[in-house]
C-alpha cells in the first residue's frame, strides 16, 4: 500500500515543525524506507496505518521516535578528510598560539549524529598535538535524535562503521574490540559532553566554542532556517573562532558575517572583522 498525499503531508508538516527538515515533493519512498523498520516494534502493519494512528493523537513518544527515524544520520570517521587536514595543519596550530595562556579548547559538534566527527577530532588532537594533553579540551556533541546522543555516549561502533574513514592504526590504538563491535577508549569518551539539542529551537547555554562543526545538516533546512542558525552560530562562536560546514554547504547568500578561508579544495569560515593571525 503506497503513501497517500494526506498521510505524506501530515508527516512532512510534522517533520518540518519539529526539526525544520524540509522533505520535498515526491519523496514518499523516503518516508516508507525510513519508517518501515519501525512498524513491527511499534505494532503497526503499514506506514499509512502508523501515520493515521499518530494523526489522531497528541504529540507522544511515538511521534518522537518517528521523527528520530526520519533524520538522516549517515556519517563516518574523518568525513571528507580535507577539513581534518585543515584542522591539523592550520587551525589547531593557530589555536595553540592564541590560547596558550588559558589553555582551554572548546569544540562543538552540532548535529553530531553517532559521534564519528567528535571522536575523529579527539583522535586527531591526541595523535598530533601532545602539548594539548596539558590543556582543558572538551567537545560538546549535540543532536536532535535521542538515539544518536545515546550512541555518542556509549562510543561503540559496528565493524561497518569502523571500516569507514578510520585509519587502521587509529582503530588498533584507540578502540577496544568487543566481538563484532569496537568501543572508543574511555579517555576520549570522557572528553565528550553529549546533549540533546534542536538547532531550530532555542539553544541552551554552553561554553563559548573555539571551533564549531556544523556539517551536513544545514542542507536539510529552508533558507530562512539556515540564515537564522548561522546568525546564532556567529553569536556563539568566539570572535576569533572557526566554523566548518559540510562539503555542499556555504554561508554565501545566508550570512555576511563570516569570512571564507580557502583550504585546498574546501574552506572553513571565521567571523569577519577581527585581526586574525594567519
Partner 1 sequence: MRALVVDDSTAMRSVLRLIFKKAGFEVLEAANGYEALNKLTEDSTPVDLAVVDWNMPVMNGYELVTKIRSDERYNGMRIMMVTTESEISHIQSVLAKGANEYVMKPFTPDTIQEKLQILGLSAGA
Helix (H) or strand (E) holding 28: helix 28-42
Candidate ranges 30-38, 108-116, 172-180, 195-203; the one touching partner 1 (CB under 8 A): 172-180
Measured in whole angstroms, how far is the alpha carbon of residue 93 from the centre of its chain? Answer: 24
List of E strands, 64-135: 104-110
Report how far residue 202's alpha carbon sits from residue 172's, in angstroms, rounded to the nearest whole number. 40
Candidate ranges 87-95, 155-163, 197-205, 223-231; the one touching partner 1 (CB under 8 A): 155-163
Place of cell 565528550: 192
H/E/C letters for each residue in 139-167?
A: EEEEECCHHHHHHHHHCEEEHHHHHCCCC
Shorter beta-carbon distance to ligand SAM: residue 15 or 48 = 15
Shorter beta-carbon distance to ligand SAM: residue 74 or 264 = 74
Binding residues vs ligand SAM (CB under 6 A) = 19-21, 71-75, 79, 111-113, 117, 143-145, 148, 198-200, 215-217, 220, 246
Shorter beta-carbon distance to ligand SAM: residue 135 or 203 = 203
Among positions 180, 204, 205, 278, the unique one binding partner 1 when judged by CB under 8 A: 180
End-to-end CA distance of the chain: 59
Among positions 171, 185, 227, 267, the unique one binding partner 1 when judged by CB under 8 A: 171
Among positions 36, 43, 59, 81, the unique one binding partner 1 when judged by CB under 8 A: 81
β-pair partners for 213: 109, 244
Binding marks (x or -) toward partner 1, 232..261, rule CB under 8 A? ------------------------------
The C-alpha cell at 70 is 526520519
Maximum distance among all Cα pairs of the chain, rounded to whole angstroms: 64
Q: Which positions lie near partner 1, rule CB under 8 A?
A: 76, 78, 80-82, 159-160, 162-165, 167-169, 171-172, 177, 180, 265
Amino acid at each position: 500500500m503506497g503513501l497517500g498525499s494526506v498521510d505524506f503531508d501530515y508527516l512532512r508538516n510534522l517533520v518540518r515543525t519539529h526539526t525544520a527538515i524540509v522533505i520535498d515533493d515526491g519523496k514518499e519512498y523516503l518516508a516508507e524506507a525510513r519508517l518501515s523498520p519501525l512498524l513491527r516494534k511499534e505494532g503497526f502493519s503499514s506506514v499509512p496505518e502508523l501515520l493515521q494512528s499518530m494523526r489522531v493523537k497528541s504529540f507522544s513518544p511515538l511521534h518522537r521516535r518517528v521523527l528520530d527515524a526520519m533524520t538522516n544520520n549517515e556519517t563516518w570517521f574523518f568525513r571528507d578528510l580535507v577539513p581534518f587536514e585543515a584542522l591539523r595543519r592550520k587551525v589547531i596550530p593557530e589555536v595553540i598560539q592564541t590560547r596558550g595562556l588559558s589553555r582551554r579548547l572548546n569544540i562543538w559538534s552540532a548535529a553530531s549524529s553517532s559521534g564519528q566527527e567528535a571522536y575523529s577530532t579527539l583522535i586527531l588532537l591526541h595523535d598530533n598535538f601532545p602539548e594539548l594533553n596539558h590543556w582543558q579540551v572538551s567537545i560538546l556533541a549535540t543532536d536532535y535524535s535521542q538515539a544518536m546522543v545515546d550512541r555518542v555516549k556509549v562510543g561503540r561502533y559496528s565493524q561497518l562503521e569502523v571500516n569507514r574513514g578510520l585509519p587502521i592504526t587509529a582503530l588498533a590504538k584507540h578502540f577496544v574490540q568487543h566481538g563484532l563491535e569496537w568501543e572508543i577508549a574511555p579517555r576520549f569518551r570522557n572528553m565528550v559532553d553529549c546533549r540533546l539539542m534542536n538547532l531550530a529551537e532555542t539553544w541552551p547555554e554552553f561554553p563559548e566554542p573555539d571551533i564549531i562543526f556544523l556539517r551536513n545538516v544545514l542542507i536539510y533546512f529552508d533558507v530562512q532556517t539556515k540564515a537564522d542558525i548561522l546568525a546564532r552560530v556567529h553569536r556563539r562562536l568566539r570572535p576569533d573562532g572557526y566554523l566548518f560546514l559540510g562539503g555542499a554547504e556555504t554561508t554565501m547568500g545566508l550570512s555576511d558575517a563570516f569570512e571564507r578561508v580557502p583550504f585546498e579544495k574546501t574552506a572553513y569560515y571565521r567571523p569577519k572583522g577581527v585581526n586574525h593571525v594567519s
